[in-house]
Amino acid sequence: MNNNIIKVGIIGSGFAAKFHFDALRRVISAKIEVVGAFSKNKINLNNFTEPRGIKAFESLDALIDYCDVLHLCTPPSTHEPMAVEILKANKFVIIEKPFTGYFGNGSDSFSGKNFNREDGLKYALDSINRMLNAENNSLGKILYAENWIYSPAVQKEREVIEKTGAQILWIQGQQSHSGSHSPDYGKWYLSGGGSLMGKGCHPLAAAIYLKQVEGRTKNGAPIRPLAVSARTHNITGMASYDNKGLLRDSYNDVEDYANIHLVFEDGTFADIVASELLQGGVKNYLEVHANNHRTICNIAPNNAMQIFNPVNEILKDVYVVEKTDTKEGWSSISPDEGWFNGYQHEMDSFYDSIVNNSEIQSDSKLAADVISVVYHAYLSAALSGKEIEISKQ
């Protein structure tokens, strides 16, 4: 692939497909061409492909056959079968988060409110193993599209840890906002969970990643998760919830708040919050408390650029920042949201790994640890926060 143009295909035609395409336009580490996309929704597919001048493929198999690298930008319930098919074809697959999970038993009566969490954990771990086995038997690789890993703030913290030999004592992380835009979100059989799965996976991945970095720097081996305790709530689903129409409340059978306490093998820990209960935009935040420094990573929002707008109408044609409720008053406007969120850095690093066989910062093993922690946390929450030892894979 060093001398040839890498043919890239996108599976999906929604929000994730769009920001993958935008990030791919900034790749400089390899010669790439986005040749086309496939989606089961033909209307959305054409709306995605036509303005971008790429081909709408009639089948998934045709897209896989034609491409070298496939971007999996579909609901997590589809990730395992599609990724396995791509890997069997010896192609590289870039998988949007969350990696995989448990999506019910297929019956019309399934509800995320009352299924056995031990069954869900077992299925999620089995799914992870099937995907890792497919990767082990393939010439291709899994690249886990967790943009938090590649955000400039987290990568700078990686450098600090590596160059100073820091010991991370405690990590705080959060992703919250007023509710997902996705119509699939809030339905366990499509999303595999609620806030813990869909939002908690981001700061959780960053925390696990930085402990991996610390372990490899000091001992040549990652420091991995050991045990987790968690609580979840569905506040907008309570009969007593006083709904003012400012938060999304259409969550069928998932939680809208989660809090987890993760203990690592060395006894240090991370506290992660995820919710749909936050107004005023997104809170993407990671704070690292080490034995020799403290770092605050304000991924979004941050104060790189701030604007005061006296009248909402003035900025009606200007994008300000994700999930903001109003453009009036002071806003932390993002001059390049994708850059701060790590999207372009993520894609450029992935293609450098594909072309030059450089280390994948966000790989299948990180993805596996994240999902394992998430489903052990769901079991803990079902047991009113009991600490659960994490199964080793």
How confident is the model over 96-123, as pLDDT tens digits?
999 999 999 999 999 999 999 999 999 9
Decide: 388 and 380 in contact? Cβ < 8 Å.
yes
pLDDT of amino acid 186:
87
- How many other C-beta atoms are found inside a 10 Å radius of the C-beta of residue 235? 16
CA–CA separation, 141 and 11 (whole Å): 17
Domain 154-389: which topology? Dihydrodipicolinate Reductase; domain 2 (3.30.360)
Decide: 225 and 373 in contact? Cβ < 8 Å.
yes
Nearest to 81 by CA among 17, 131, 145: 131
pLDDT of amino acid 3:
64
DSSP, collapsed to helix, strand or coil, labels residue 193 as coil
DSSP, collapsed to helix, strand or coil, labels residue 53 as coil
In the chain, residues under CATH classification 3.40.50.720 are 6-145
205: phi then psi, degrees, rounded to nearest 5: -60, -40
Stretches where the chain sits below pLDDT 50 are none
In the chain, residues under CATH classification 3.30.360.10 are 154-389
What region does 231 belong to: left with phi over 0, alpha with psi -120 to 50, or beta?
Answer: beta
310: phi then psi, degrees, rounded to nearest 5: -75, -25
pLDDT of amino acid 1:
56
Indicate the pairing of strand 225-233 with strand 388-389. antiparallel
pLDDT of amino acid 250:
86
pLDDT of amino acid 219:
95
CA–CA separation, 358 and 291 (whole Å): 30
pLDDT of amino acid 2:
56
Query: Which top CATH class is 6-145?
Result: alpha beta
pLDDT of amino acid 304:
92
CA–CA–CA angle 182, 186, 192 (5° rounding): 100
- How many other C-beta atoms are found inside a 10 Å radius of the C-beta of residue 61? 12
pLDDT of amino acid 324:
84
pLDDT of amino acid 180:
81
CA distances, 312 to each of 215, 320, 328 (Å): 49, 11, 5
DSSP bridge pairs for 298:
285
pLDDT of amino acid 11:
98
DSSP, collapsed to helix, strand or coil, labels residue 315 as helix
